[in-house]
Amino acid sequence: MLNVLKVRIYPNKEQELSLAKNFGCVRFVWNYYLNKTNNQYLETGKGMTYCAMAKDLTQLKKQPDFEWLSEATAATLQQSLKNLESAFKNFFSKRTKFPKFKSKHKKQS
């Protein structure tokens, strides 16, 4: 039996801004690499692994157009890549549907 403890947080304005930035960056990274993996799969027949995505993310954060990704915590961005890889593994083992693009208008947690 699993025990769950739900905790509600009450962030101040600065913390709300930080959370919003992290949520936005995580959503962008998920959508960017989902699209990139789909394109690579269509071209080569193989998708991207977590290691390939993580290396590419490091280079992406250094580009002038994507410097704003450095404002988010690196651990959250890396976790979104792990979650994406896990979503693809679950899809290919027929446990779930194909990964979808994330929208800002759904619950952000």
**pLDDT value, residue 107:** 67
Does some domain include residue 76? yes
Residues 6+ apart with CB under 8 A from 31: 101, 102
Tokens of 82: 């792990």
Average pLDDT, the chain: 93
Assess if residue 8 is contained within a domain: no
* SS3 state at 61: helix
> Structural domain of residue 43, as residue ranges?
16-92
Output the pTM of the full model.
0.88
Q: What is the pLDDT of residue 64?
A: 94
Segment 12-40 shows an average pLDDT of: 95
pLDDT at 106: 67
Instruction: Name the domain count of the chain.
Output: 1
Residues whose CB falls within 8 Å of the CB of residue 60, separated by 6 or more in sequence, listed in order: 32, 66, 69
